[in-house]
Structure 1
Amino acid sequence: MKYIKYEIKENGIALVTISRAQVLNVLNEEVLDELDDVFYKIASSGLRVAILTGEGKKAFAAGADIRGMLSFSREQSLAFSQKGNAVFRRIEQLDVPVIAAIHGFALGGGCELALCCDIRLAAQNAVFAQPETSLGIIPGYGGTQRLTRIVGVGNAKEMVYTGRKVDAAEAKEMGLVNHVYSSEELMPQALGLARKIAQNAPIAVRAAKEAIVCGLDMDITDGISLEAQLFSTCFETADQQNAMSAFIHKKECPVFQNK
């Protein structure tokens, strides 16, 4: 791939890096295509966790390619929005957790890319914004929807209407990111979190993600029903039997076999 680096780390952990540091990892159609390809591969790989980051220290992703969008017609802009939304929805609905390791700018489409990940970790130099209204448009990759669900209606409206930048500390305060670290600590902390997730039962983690992500699109009654169904499927697994038996008999938890 030209713009995406894809590595397999230990314990079933994938590292996906947007590699356009010279232009602050801006998202264009080729980047979207390659992100779609790599997360399609991860979905059928048996991996347990993915980490998504941007190359360099200046940006996670500084937005979509404005030069490329300048001459878009309404039809072209609709297709571009739908394409990005399809890729981001694939990431959001991936059957394994995705951790965003964010440093520097996460603006516009870059902020929206972070929003579709399960857990967001930020370096102290991270900056978030949805500045689209200052360019005469609105967020087009799910920003009006995911940001509202994550930080609340008031915070989302203020960010979208004003386009103002939010630093890492404020992002943590409003729930936009889970944790803030120094730039040097960011990737080790992301890998440490990935290892904690990877050591748990993969089938259970996948079921938990499905319950949370799909449940957000349901009312509470349907969400609880989905949770019950997914809870029950875990009892058909050897991992559940082995782990519960070890717990009861005060033995060391076995290594989960994903079956």
Structure 2
Amino acid sequence: MEKMESIYSNLEDGILTITFKGDSKSSTITEKSLSELRSAIQEVYDHDKIEGVIITGEGEEIFSLGTDVAELIKLSELNARKFAENGQEVCSFIENCPKPILAAINGCALGSGFELALACHFRLASENVFFAFPEIAYGIIPGFGGTQRLTKLLGKTKALEYLMTGKRINAEYAEQIGLVSEVVSYKEEMLKKAKKWLMAIVNNADVALGMLVACVNAAENPDENGFQTEANGFANCFKIVELKENLLKIIDKKVLLK
């Protein structure tokens, strides 16, 4: 993978860790970082050696502060729409990836940083984390799909509460409402647990994993027949040569069903 300015990556044991560079002043989403993140995720789609992904931030305090205000100031109505659509495309690229992508949220996730985390298949958080959409205080709204994903996750009333007030969601409450799967005491432990999660997942058949992503996403798409997507995905699993061998092992009691 080519050297990038706003993120860096490391591949180990089939798990690609993508880290947003930056500190409390510079960990923001820009056109450049969106482009680089898109390129990194494209690598995930293209290369079999990458089996799963962890997205995290640098340090212990910041996952992402959201969109760089200096870039927002430059936007007009026309290029604001293009900027939002670009961010939505990157988030959809993450959401629809057939390989598991986990956000290891090491610190505050604000605005578009929160939106990127919502697009991931799973989220783990350290104890100091909080989430918020502060955009309303500046007279704007989230643009990368945050209004849609938060509503699907929390329901209309709760989503409007956090979108309209900009209130923070702390790590403990985020776990209670299903925003994150687990809260871990500190970043190093969280990254170990994130890798453990992904290693357990990628040991399963990769075709079936991709089908599961497609089916679950179809359940939220009113323009798609989720039941037909599921039936098609189920049938596609039988293209895999090893499938019947695995089924025979179960019959022969050579493996235990979990």
Give the TM-score normalised by the residue count of structure 2.
0.93
- Unaligned 5+ residue runs, structure 2? none
2:108 aligns to what?
105
Q: How many Å separate the matches in 1 of 2:75 and 2:26?
A: 22
Does residue 117 (structure 1) correspond to residue 120 (structure 2)? The answer is yes
Superposed CA RMSD in Å reads 1.5
1:210 aligns to what?
214
2:182 aligns to what?
179
Number of equivalences:
251
2:195 aligns to what?
191
Does residue 33 (structure 1) correspond to residue 29 (structure 2)? The answer is no
| 1:120 maps to amino acid | R
Kindly indicate whether the alpha-carbon contact (under 8 Å) linking 1:13 and 1:198 is maintained by their aligned counterparts in 2.
no
| 2:230 maps to amino acid | E
1:144 aligns with one of 124, 147, 157: 147
Q: How many Å separate the matches in 2 of 1:52 and 1:230?
A: 27
Kindly indicate whether the alpha-carbon contact (under 8 Å) linking 1:24 and 1:60 is maintained by their aligned counterparts in 2.
no
Structure 1 residue 126, shift from structure 2 partner: 0.7
Structure 1 residue 21, shift from structure 2 partner: 2.8
Structure 1 residue 210, shift from structure 2 partner: 1.1
Tell me the SS of whatever aligns to 2:140.
coil
| 1:217 maps to amino acid | N
* Cα gap change, 1:159 to 1:22, in 2 (>3 Å): closer
Q: How many Å separate the matches in 2 of 1:3 and 1:88?
A: 17
Tell me the SS of whatever aligns to 1:16.
strand
Q: How many Å separate the matches in 1 of 2:36 and 2:93?
A: 13
Does residue 161 (structure 1) correspond to residue 164 (structure 2)? The answer is yes
2:54 aligns to what?
51
Structure 1 residue 71, shift from structure 2 partner: 3.2
2:25 aligns to what?
23
Does residue 93 (structure 1) correspond to residue 89 (structure 2)? The answer is no
Please, which moves more after superposition, 110-119 or 240-249? 240-249
Kindly indicate whether the alpha-carbon contact (under 8 Å) linking 1:215 and 1:226 is maintained by their aligned counterparts in 2.
no
Please, which moves more after superposition, 168-177 or 235-244? 235-244
Kindly indicate whether the alpha-carbon contact (under 8 Å) linking 2:126 and 2:183 is maintained by their aligned counterparts in 1.
yes
Structure 1 residue 243, shift from structure 2 partner: 1.5
1:134 aligns with one of 120, 124, 137: 137
Q: How many Å separate the matches in 1 of 2:54 and 2:87?
A: 19
Tell me the SS of whatever aligns to 2:28.
coil
Q: How many Å separate the matches in 1 of 2:138 and 2:43?
A: 35
Q: Where do residues 77-92 of structure 1 align in structure 2 (5 Å cutoff)? A: 77-92=80-95
Structure 1 residue 215, shift from structure 2 partner: 2.7
